Structure formats: structure tokens, C-alpha cells
Chains A and B, each alone.
Chain A
Amino acid sequence: MNIIVFLIPAALFMGALGLAAFFWSLRSGQYEDLEGAKHRILIDDDEA
């Protein structure tokens, strides 16, 4: 059972990582234009 001393913090850390990733995506404006995002994947940016 001693293993839970490592497993619990590890699990909580991974959960927190997911939360941090979500906050980052929110801050970088990825939810501003959901409609456009699904279309933009089809655009070739060779001109850039």
C-alpha cells in the first residue's frame, strides 16, 4: 500500500497538468471562434 504515497501525488499532478493546459488554451483565445477553427484546418498556408 505504500505505493499510494507516489501514485496519489502522481495522479493529482497529471490532473493538474490537464487543468493548466485548459487554462492555457482559454487564455490563448482558442475558444473565440469555434466556427472558423473547423474551417481553418483546410486552408493551405503556402503563401506564408
Chain B
Amino acid sequence: MDIALEAPTGCPSGLAPAERNDNAADPAAFVRRDAHGDETLELMVSGAKCAGCISKIEGALRALPGVSEARLNLSTQRLRVVWRAKTIEASTIVGTLARIGYAARPFDPEAAQRETDETGRRLLRYLAVAGFAAMNIMMFSVPVWSGDGEMGAATRTLLHWISALVAVPAALYAAQPFFGSAYRALKARRANMDVPISLAVILALGMSIAETLQHGAHAYFDGVVMLLFFLLIGRYLDHKLRQRARTAARDLLALQAVTAVRIGADGKTTAISARDIAIGDRLLLSAGDRAPVDGVIEDGASDLDTSMLTGETRPVPAHAGDSVHAGAINLTQKLILRVTARAADSTIAELARLIEAGEQNRAGFVRLADRAAALYVPVVHTLAALTFLGWLLAPILLRGLGFDADDVGVRAALQNAVAVLIITCPCALGLAVPAVQVVATGRLFQSGVLVKSGDALERIAQADTIVFDKTGTLTLGKPRLITRADEQTLTSAASLARISRHPLARALVAVAGPGAPAVDAQEIAGDGVEALIDGKIARLGRRGFAAPDAQDADDGAMELWFSRQGDAPVRLAFEDTLRGDAANVVATLKQRGYQVELLSGDRRTAVEAAANAAGIECWRASVNPAEKVARLHELSAQGKKVLMIGDGLNDAAALAAAHASASPGTAIEATQAAADLVIEGPLLAPLIEAIDVAKSSRQRALQNIGFSALYNVIAAPAAMAGLLTPLIAALAMSGSSLVVTLNALRLRGKGPR
């Protein structure tokens, strides 16, 4: 008796609605077999939110015969299932999940190649070692500081030697990422932030050992490991952010890997991965499926939803001989396609190339921290060199001028030069930007905005022009009934509409509510639905089919006609409604001085209506993807920084080409992958919050960089003057890092509104 299967569908805590798996791809093509006869499948599960979901999903799957492992990772929403080969079919797993109310989509195993984030783990190990060393050295440093003057030189040297025992191996181990990156930069004849860091670490260690050998007081063992500890925190935060961005993009692209159903020569159907589709294959495209490749309809007639490709909201009828582009969704009847282009050559791949071109464009963007580093490195090194030369040459110079001055010697000069390098080591600077970006993305995540990369925030903060797409972005992308029809008509029309996947029919059913479909209803592709109601022929569909004698309303709206023998036909008009807060968001953006534009691939009338309703004066209709990109280039040539918001495949290239980009969570995966931000939920308001947070995080990052600079302005002259002691160095470095981190945390303090 399995309780999990009897529970109501979806999340038991009601945190997420039960998902329907309308057009799940057959996962069979994505099953991996190993040598022991076990089969593994990785699925992306949506709708899992809580403990109840975990136990329900894992329990239901483990109850299946042959399943040896089912583990759901709630952070990544990935489910891994392992079972004995031939005990169950892969589709049983997806079916079981669908029955308990979770949608699951297979991952392309190649794209989803389980990447364990080795770099992240290694950074954590470095961080742990540096942290351990920093804390334990304090045990020996604090007595030295507090016993200053009273402690004998022998005791101090003993404590220094113990510190060295901990610090030298720990620092040489934990500084590896900095050494490696500095070495690579120097080899390429560049200098980055890691060059002064590596220099400071090596020089400080060397000098401290030399100092200990001579029983001196200036040992910086504590400073070195503390420096590494703080720097590694910054490095780890930065890595986590980038990793999340990379994972998000890769997951989306892996999900895009669709399957297709091939009809063999013997008429048998097999599920294959889109990659394996060859030209000339015959594919079965069921209602609700997305065409994986370009092809020509060989048999059947249906309606195609191409809104993701073109922005056109109205479905297009398609018959034998018509060509179908990859990405189009088959709505009404099953079709048999003859493939004319492989996946890599299809329309989608063409768009992918446009996306890549756009992303290369964006590579020119220099991150705030890198710009600061470029200024910082030469200044610091010049200062250190000046300190060394100054201490060496000043006595000679003074004597030449007739003053009485003793030589300080190479050792003291070197000591002061190294002190400058240690104290100016960009500890706070390394934390300044990542700390802010981690807090900012965390806060936005709570408001339903997924930020895919840290520099996305920097770019969004710079934007001054905002370009919207219409279908699915400003609008919901779903038609809504605007005609007021009487109850009787609505109920009868809906009973016909229930058997269709056509978006207008769906919209009609949504208004009518639950009910039974009409008996004997038949869908005629490209025309509509016909059925008998109380013995009379009733028709729902386009005018030529349902009401050939009626007058054309000619107002450009989407329409369905409903007729029943003997009654006058009724026209049902639909409209793609704006998102609830679209007009408000546009008004707010304009009020803040943004230039707002609308670029849509849809018809002129539809775009004009939406632009008027949303309050956008500058709009263009019937724009194809390449023209969208061209318009963005035109704007950036004028010196504008464009934030593009779009959802369709036709927007993906423009999103990549824009300075920054966002897409709603309803967007197709490739588009979400191309966008910097993904906004969940039915409203656009999170966009405003994202812009606000991006701006304040930029401000906060600049403050932090400013603070680091200020700290150096005070500390560097002290070090150059030879006033630095190990205690001051330790206090100054940890103090500045703390201030920078606390300043970043203030961003969270405001809380989501």
C-alpha cells in the first residue's frame, strides 16, 4: 500500500501548484547504461519545494520495481534515478511523477554531464586551511603583541617559529590559486590583482623567516594567513556566483535537448534524441509537441503556434506540403514531418549563432573590480619600489646636503618596502565587489528574480534605455476572451473548445470553467471543432468554417465564431492582455528617465494597441530577429546602454546583443539562457526592483572600492615611513575587510518590499 500515490497531486504543503506534463519528451533517449546493467536517468523536476515533496517523489519512485536509487536535489531541482535494466521503462518514471503532480523533463546526459564543481571544492579546502592557520596563529601572535616589551626575545622567537611552522605550509598551500593566476598573467605579459598578492605573500613569508632567524620583532606570519583567508572568502563568493550563472545557463541548454519520435521504414516509432535526427527522416509530431528541426509536412493538417519564433500571437494553419520551422508548436492534430535540416542546421541553430555573436560583443565589458585592479597594480608596485629606493638613498642624499644621517641598510629598506606591499595588498578590494553582488543576488532571488551573473548587475545598473518585446513579455502571451457572451452560448461553445489545444479554445475554456466536452466532437485542423449539441450541428472556429455568411468585423482582433443550426452565429473576440502591472512599470521607468521602446514581430495593429495600453510611444511592429539586433546596434551606436526584455526565440539574439537583458520565467529555455535575469511570476514589477538593487549594489561596490582606496591612502604612507608593525598590519587588514563586508550586508537590511 503506497501512501504517496494516494496523496493529492503536487506539493503537499501547497507551496507550488501541481504541474501538468503536457508535452513531455520521451526520456528513453537520455537513459545511460553502465557496465553492471544499471540504468541512470537525470530529470529536471519542477514543483518540488518542501520535505513532503522529497519523500513523496523519492518514495513513489523507490516503490517501482527495480529502482535502486532515487535522489532529489532540492537546490538544483535535479532528480537522479537508477534502476536495473529491463525492469521498467524510462517513461514509467516520468509517468509516475506526472501522476503525483510533478512535471519532469529529461536532461541531455552529455550537456548535463555531472559536473561536481571541483574548483569550488578546492577553493573551500584552501579557505578551510587558511582559516585554520589564521585562528591558530592568533594563539601565538596575541601573546607576542600583548607581551610587547615584557616578553624575552627567546620566547618571542620560539612563538615566531611555531607560527612559521603553521603559516608557511598553510600559506604555500592556500595561496595556490593566486600563484597560478599571477603566473598565467605574467606569462601573458599582463598584470592582474594576483600579482601583488602573490608577491606580498612570498616576500612577507621570506622576510618573516629572515626576521625570526635574526630574533627580530617584524614577523608577519599572522598577517599573511589572515590576508589569504579574507582573499579566499572573496574568491569563493565570486566563484559561487559565476558557478550559479554557468549552471543556470547549462541547465537551460540541456533542457532544450528535445526528443523526437521517428517513424521507421516498418512503421514502428522510436524515441530519438534531436541530435540523431537525419535529413529525410519521417517524424511524428503529436499535438502539443514542439518541432525539433525544420521539415516539410508530409501528411496531416494542423495549426502551428509560432509565437516563440516570430512573436505572432495568431496560430497559423498548416497543411501537407507546408514547411515547419524548428521551435514551432503543433497545436491541433498530429503531423508527419519529413526532415529537411538537421538540428544543427535548423532555424533554432541559426538563432544560437546570433546569440553567440551577441555574447562575444559583450565580452568587451570590463568588470568594476578589474578596472580598479588595472589602476591599482602599477601604483602599489611603484610605491614599494620608491620606498625601497627612498630608504636606501635618502641617507646618502641627506649627507650630500650636509645633514648628519646614518645608512639604514638594505635590510631595513627591504623591510619597509615589503611592509608597503603587505599593507596595500588588495584584501578589501578583493571582497569589495563579490560581497555586494552575493548579497544583491540573494535579495533578488527572494523577490523572484534569478540573476545569472555578477557582472549582469553591473551592466543593468548602467542601462539607460529599455526595450521590451510584446508577446509574452509586456503581455501574458495568452489570449483572453473580451466578448461578453451569454451563459448558454459560452457553455455550449466551451464544450466544443474542450477537445482542442488551440490557444483561443483554451482561453474560452478558462472562462467557462470546468465541464464536460461535447460528445462526438471532431477537430478539423485549420478550421475548428464540429459537434452535435441536442441533435443540432454546432461549429466553433474561424469565420469561413463556423459562420461563412457573417460579416467580417475587421478590427484586427483574434476571433472565434460559434454557430448552431438555427441560431445566429456569435463572434467571440480575444485579445492578448497586458501583464497586470505593465503600464505601471512602463510609467515608473519613464518617470525615472529611461527611454522605453517596444520591438515586436507581431502585426502592426496588435503592437500598436499594446503600445498604447502600456504607454510606450516608440514602437516597431513586424520586426524579425536580425532587425531587432540591428535596432539594438543602432541604439548602442548612439551611445545608449540597452536593457532588453524578451521571451521568444526571436528575442534570444537581441537579448544576447543588448548591454543587459532579462526574460520572464515563462520564456523558452534558450531565451532564458541568453538573458542575464529571469523574472518569475506573472508581474513585471520585479524588474524595477532588480534595476533598483543593481543600482544600489553598484553604488555600494563603488563605496567599498572607495573605502579600500581611503584605507590605502592612510596605511601606505605609514608603511612607507616605516611605522608599520605586525599588530597594526593584522588590525588594519581584518578591519578593512570587515567594514567592506558589513557595508555589503546593509544592502540586505532594506528587505523585500
Chain A residues close to B by CB (< 8 Å): 8, 11-12, 15-16, 18-19, 22-23, 26, 31-36, 39-43, 47
Q: How far is the CB of A9 from chain B (nearest CB, A)?
A: 9
> Which single residue of chain A is at the shortest CB-CB distance from B128?
A22
* Interface residue? B383 (CB, 8 A): no
A33-B135 contact in complex given A26-B125, A43-B51, C-beta closer than 8 Å: no
* Cβ contact within 8 Å between A26 and B124: yes
* Interface residue? B727 (CB, 8 A): no
Taken together as a complex, chains A and B put the C-alpha atoms of A41 and B55 apart, in Å, by 11
> Which single residue of chain B is at the shortest CB-CB distance from A16?
B132
* Cβ contact within 8 Å between A23 and B128: yes
* Cβ contact within 8 Å between B124 and A36: no
* Interface residue? B191 (CB, 8 A): no
Residue in contact with B132 in the complex, picked from A15, A26, A35, CB distance below 8 Å: A15
Interface residues of B in 45-92 (CB under 8 A from A): 50-51, 54-55, 59, 72-76
> Which single residue of chain A is at the shortest CB-CB distance from B4?
A47
Residue in contact with A47 in the complex, picked from B59, B125, B129, CB distance below 8 Å: B59
Inter-chain contacts of B135 with A (CB < 8 A): 15
* Cβ contact within 8 Å between B73 and A11: no
Taken together as a complex, chains A and B put the C-alpha atoms of A17 and B135 apart, in Å, by 14
Q: How far is the CB of A32 from chain B (nearest CB, A)?
A: 7
Taken together as a complex, chains A and B put the C-alpha atoms of A42 and B53 apart, in Å, by 11
The 6 closest A-B pairs by CB, nearest first: A36-B74, A39-B51, A35-B75, A42-B51, A35-B74, A33-B73
19 contacts between A and B (CB under 8 A): A8-B140, A11-B139, A12-B136, A12-B166, A15-B135, A16-B132, A18-B132, A19-B128, A19-B132, A23-B128, A26-B128, A32-B73, A33-B75, A36-B54, A36-B72, A39-B74, A40-B51, A40-B54, A42-B51
* Interface residue? B213 (CB, 8 A): no
Inter-chain contacts of A16 with B (CB < 8 A): 132
Q: Considering residues B128, B129, B135, which has the most beta carbons from chain A within 10 angstroms of its beta carbon?
A: B128
Report the interface size for chain B: residues with CB under 8 A from the other chain: 22
* Cβ contact within 8 Å between A8 and B162: yes
Q: Mark B589-609, 1 if CB is under 8 A from A, else 0.
A: 000000000000000000000
* Interface residue? B121 (CB, 8 A): yes
* Cβ contact within 8 Å between A11 and B76: no
Q: How far is the CB of A39 from chain B (nearest CB, A)?
A: 4
> Which single residue of chain A is at the shortest CB-CB distance from B56?
A43
Taken together as a complex, chains A and B put the C-alpha atoms of A31 and B125 apart, in Å, by 13
Given A32-B75, A36-B73, A42-B51, 17 extra CB contacts under 8 A: A8-B140, A8-B162, A11-B136, A12-B166, A15-B135, A19-B128, A19-B129, A22-B128, A32-B73, A33-B75, A34-B75, A36-B75, A39-B50, A39-B54, A41-B51, A43-B54, A47-B59
Q: How far is the CB of B464 from chain A (nearest CB, A)?
A: 37
> Which single residue of chain B is at the shortest CB-CB distance from A1?
B155
> Which single residue of chain B is at the shortest CB-CB distance from A32?
B73
Q: How far is the CB of A30 from chain B (nearest CB, A)?
A: 11
Q: Mark B148-163, 1 if CB is under 8 A from A, else 0.
A: 0000000000000010
Q: How far is the CB of A22 from chain B (nearest CB, A)?
A: 5
Inter-chain contacts of B124 with A (CB < 8 A): 26, 31
